[in-house]
Chains A and B, each alone.
Chain A
Amino acid sequence: MPVSRTLKSLGATLAILVVLVYLGYLIVYAAYAVNLFQWPFDYDQGEGFELYDAILYSQGEWPYQDNSTFPFYASNYPPLFHLLIVPLLPILGPRLVAGRLVSFAATLITGGAIFAIVRRKSACPEQGRRGGWLIPLVSGLAYLASNYVYQIGPLCRMHMTMVMFETLAIAFIAEFEHPRHGRRNLILGLLMLLCAGYTKQMAVFTVAAALSYIFLRDIKKALIAGAALAVTAGAIFWLLNTATEGQWWINIIQANVNKFDYRQTVFLFGQWFRLHTVFILLAAGYLVYELFWDRLSAYSLWFLFSLGAGALSGKWGAGFGYFTTAIAAACLTSGLALSRLQNTARRTPHALRILIPLLYLLQAPRMLHLPTSGPLFGPLARALGVDDALIQGDCATFQYHDAMGYTQLGHLLTADDYTAGEDILDYVRTADGPVLSEEAMFSLLAGNPVVTNPTQLLNLYNNDLLDTTEIIERINRQEFGLIIFRAQFYPQPVLEAIGQNYQPVDHVCMNGFYYHILWPQRVLDDTSAQPDQ
């Protein structure tokens, strides 16, 4: 008895420690999100364009336009995330915080859904046991503790909203055979899949997982559900394409055919595995168990199919964000695996009470990320031995540690960044003509029109879908009063025309990147002529 009591106490202590560690990650995430909510400029290139899409919708305009004519702008994403931002615009104004709040809330809902699913599925009614708290709670918190979710979660980007819809879809589809609510669950699941797909095209892998699950259990229902989803999604697709005179097809489908580098995919698979090892091994083990010894669940199939999204991460413009669905699936399925283990291993309950928290504690430091300065995080970083960790940007060093190594995201913004942003904004406000910028927020904050979406122009140019005649003519006439480069993602002929007609006048370091400010040659000629007059 004393040994049993000691083991029970040890298990309880470890469980409390685990919850504290994962709650700590939640605090780090919340601190980063609050820091970003205050930042008015693009933190990640593309955020401002997502906001601009929402602004266009609020004005009753489509963001799917002809890129060959002024303002040379189009979105390459479906509309749902932008439409979710629209109701917040009258309250928060045309500010990035509107989109960042939507995305952040989506990650919290996803974490909450993982918690609810694991708690519900880990209940063992035949033994009179309810679901317990530790495994469901840590499964939900683990999703928010992932380095990838942390970095992308509070950005004005649509990816995490897609993962939210995917998680909800799988939760409903998994219960499509429910004796009382089966039909309702199936319809809601299909609706969530539709929402996920019209948030971001990547949801196609989750659609495949969900329909495969239904097919395994009920072929007729799978065919009907698949046909219903295809007809509905197809009808919306056709309406959008008709309403935009074919620009939807060009910008959403054709522009997204990009070069693929398998080495990037292999690298990211390795990094994803290294950061989330315990969750992935548990989820993979559960998949194998269900495949050979039990029936395949919707969750295991989702985990398997989500690897397909990860395989596309080598596409130009893709990255580690393509693994966030797989992370949600791994957190969920690993929780189910441990719950299953707990429910079946009746002879060794005390061993599991220690083993399960130990597994979570083993995993926790693998994802370590936190700011390494400040009154709270400075001492914590010192205690963890990462206080000297730095992230080196192009022109600044950030006091931030991340187990994934170099990363452009995740650090907190400094007073210097705010000053630099205002400096660039001054250039925009005094520009003599429209501004060609690789980030939309400078134009939006200055009340100027947003001109060009450079990566979209490059995508189209690389696929022989862009006529650069008009934009090059305007550059040659030096109609743009200012050009702001960050990554120079414009098509090569556009860059060459800019090089012949514009001159760099300043290089401003903001958020770790150099922003190159270029003036038209005519302005520089006027400026140099002024002293003689």
Chain B
Amino acid sequence: MITKRQLGFAVVALGLLVIGATVGVDFIGAGRWSGFGPLQRIGIGLSLPTIVAGCILIRLGNRPA
């Protein structure tokens, strides 16, 4: 059984992964836009609430997810 805390860590990791990928595409030169493109903005917009939700879940401790 997975706990809220464990789920929280997974959710935070997912959010960080999305942020990493969103920012990382500029370093490898992928994407069609120069600078910070619309898909990157969407990626950041989705990952920040995900990280917040994950942090709350971590604080909920060992209750079953």
Given A216-B7, A291-B57, A292-B57, residue A262 in contact with residue B38 (CB < 8 A): yes
List chain B residues, Cβ under 8 A from A413.
none
List chain B residues, Cβ under 8 A from A120.
none
A351 to chain B, nearest CB (A): 30
Size of A's binding interface in residues, CB under 8 A: 11
In the complex, whether A219 has a CB less than 8 A from a CB of chain B is yes
Residues 217-233 (chain A) with a chain B CB within 8 angstroms: 217-219
User: What's the Cα separation between A219 and B65 when bound, in Å?
Assistant: 12
Given A217-B1, A219-B2, residue A292 in contact with residue B64 (CB < 8 A): no
In the complex, whether A295 has a CB less than 8 A from a CB of chain B is yes
The answer, among B1, B2, B39, for a CB contact under 8 Å with A262, is: B39
Size of B's binding interface in residues, CB under 8 A: 12
Residues 12-56 (chain B) with a chain A CB within 8 angstroms: 38-39, 42, 53, 56
Given A216-B2, A219-B2, residue A296 in contact with residue B56 (CB < 8 A): no
In the complex, whether A215 has a CB less than 8 A from a CB of chain B is yes
User: What's the Cα separation between A154 and B1 when bound, in Å?
Assistant: 42
List chain A residues, Cβ under 8 A from B60.
292
Contact with B along A162-196 (1 / 0, CB 8 A): 00000000000000000000000000000000000
Q: Is the Cβ of B65 less than 8 Å from the Cβ of A216?
A: yes
Q: Is the Cβ of A295 less than 8 Å from the Cβ of B64?
A: yes
B14 to chain A, nearest CB (A): 12
User: What's the Cα separation between A218 and B1 when bound, in Å?
Assistant: 5
User: What's the Cα separation between A345 and B51 when bound, in Å?
Assistant: 32
User: What's the Cα separation between A291 and B2 when bound, in Å?
Assistant: 13
User: What's the Cα separation between A296 and B53 when bound, in Å?
Assistant: 14
List chain B residues, Cβ under 8 A from A217.
1-2, 64
User: What's the Cα separation between A295 and B7 when bound, in Å?
Assistant: 11
B49 to chain A, nearest CB (A): 11
User: What's the Cα separation between A266 and B60 when bound, in Å?
Assistant: 33
Q: Is the Cβ of B1 less than 8 Å from the Cβ of A216?
A: yes
User: What's the Cα separation between A219 and B38 when bound, in Å?
Assistant: 38
List chain B residues, Cβ under 8 A from A218.
1
B12 to chain A, nearest CB (A): 14
Contact with B along A272-296 (1 / 0, CB 8 A): 0000000000000000000110011
Q: Given A215-B2, A292-B60, list of 17 further CB < 8 A pairs?
A: A216-B1, A216-B2, A216-B7, A216-B64, A217-B1, A217-B2, A218-B1, A219-B1, A219-B2, A262-B38, A262-B39, A262-B42, A266-B42, A291-B53, A295-B64, A295-B65, A296-B65
Task: Enumerate the 7 nearest inter-chain pairs by beta-carbon distance, A residue then B residue, closest first.
Answer: A216-B2, A216-B65, A262-B39, A295-B64, A296-B65, A217-B1, A292-B56
Chain A contact residues, CB within 8 Å of chain B? 215-219, 262, 266, 291-292, 295-296
21 sample A-B contacts, Cβ–Cβ < 8 Å, listed by A number: A215-B2, A216-B1, A216-B2, A216-B7, A216-B64, A216-B65, A217-B1, A217-B2, A217-B64, A219-B1, A219-B2, A262-B38, A262-B39, A262-B42, A291-B53, A291-B57, A292-B56, A292-B60, A295-B64, A295-B65, A296-B65
